[in-house]
Amino acid sequence: MRTFLINGEVFWQGRLQKLEVVLEDGKIRALEAPGTAKAAGVPEEEVYDAAGLRVVPGFIDLHTHGGAGVDVNAADEAGFAKISHFFATRGVTSWQCSILTDTVETTEREIAAAVAHAKNGRNGAHLMGIHLEGPFLAKDYKGAMPEYLLRTADVDLLRHYQELAGGYIHYLTVSPEVEGVLEAIPAMCGLGMTVAMGHSGADYDTAWEAIRRGVRAATHTFNAMKLLHQHFPAIMGAALESDIFCEAICDGRHLHPGTVRFLLKCKGLDRVVAITDSIMAAGLPDGDYKLGVNDVVVEDGDAKLKSDHSRAGSTLTLDLALRNLMAFAGLSLPQVLPLLTENPAKLVHADAHVGTLDPGKDADVVLLDENQFVVDTFVKGEKIVR
């Protein structure tokens, strides 16, 4: 039975406090008063002295298409391992792979590869589930989605995907106005998927009906959706007025800092989820890349389709999103951390296992320096080899 102890300034129950975090067999066993380890005779080699560092829960990225040169829509098991390791070095301990709208054959292949990695992956962030971004999306708000692969609602196809995944598809983005989607939302939820709405020009009433039928989030809020108008609040108005979660890409490109502040004011800190929506270019220089079937060019860190220059995901990492949120909104580390930890865990019903450092949860821990840069990461109690 492996015991490990981290001694430092720990983020727990909404504030930073001097504690010792005891990790045992991949779980958080306890949080103790300083000095407990020495009194209990814990071997020196089992103690991580985090003096001068902040000990925080691992970050959770629910919406990402890749990084470190690997595109989720083309990844094999080794590719998923590469993404997972890269993310872990940036503080992510759990993530969902976002499969962009693609052919049935490609989607089936990537589901199988993702599930294989989730079962066998080591030395990286835990792949906690699959996110299907489409294919039931509105063509007028397709963003980087390939229009010719978009479909009307098809619960049988989703059921097929979920059976192939063994229930591992936990998150789904749909457009409420697409034919058959409203009627299908309860069945989608019944398949074990948390349903989000996005890539949509839905009117206010349609969006609210989607929420009443089970939608729990707005995908990359403000981006690829019809915006608020004083006479026609549209999907944006429903997202802001309701209690659903709102994803936010805080890279300074997808959302102006003032827009981030506006979103936080409207929704509160407990209803915003920081995501990256990153592509394979995350962590790499400018150049030519892929996003599913699309050709993408990255210039000055900004990813756009070669075909029409539409923005195509981001090169953001969650540690940078953390620092950006603090700078954009003038908030403290304790105020911002839930947007990367507790909130995403709650959105996909994973908060019994991850999202905080409460005893009994997975031993997913990140060590930050005074400038919020990642020093070390533990995933299920194992220190990531950098």
Residue 121: predicted pLDDT: 83
Dihedral of alpha carbons 219, 220, 226, 229, sign: positive
Question: Contact 370/359 with Cβ under 8 angstroms?
Answer: no
pLDDT per residue over 358-381, tens digit each? 999 999 999 999 999 999 999 999
- Domain 59-347 sits in which CATH superfamily? Metal-dependent hydrolases (3.20.20.140)
Collapsed DSSP state (helix, strand, coil) of residue 99 = strand
Which pLDDT score is estimated for 36? 77
Q: Say how many CA atoms lie within 13 Å of 299 toward its Cβ.
A: 7
> Reduced to 3 states, what is the DSSP secondary structure of residue 195?
strand
Contact 153, 181 (CB under 8 A): yes
Task: Give pLDDT tens digits for 228-284.
Answer: 999 999 999 999 999 999 999 999 999 999 999 999 999 999 999 999 999 999 999
Please state the CATH superfamily assignment of the domain spanning residues 3-56+363-383 in this structure. Answer: Urease, subunit C, domain 1 (2.30.40.10)
Task: Give the separation between CA 386 and CA 249, rounded to whole angstroms.
Answer: 26
pLDDT for res 2:
62
Mind listing the pLDDT tens digit for each residue in 86-135? Answer: 999 999 999 999 999 999 999 999 999 999 999 988 899 999 999 999 99
Least confident of 63-77, 150-164, 299-313: 299-313
Q: What is the pLDDT of residue 296?
A: 95
Report residue 149's pLDDT band, with 50, 70 and 90 as the boundaries.
very high
pLDDT at 1 over 60: no
CA angle 37, 16, 316 (to 5 degrees): 110
- The ranges assigned to domains in the chain are 3-56+363-383, 59-347
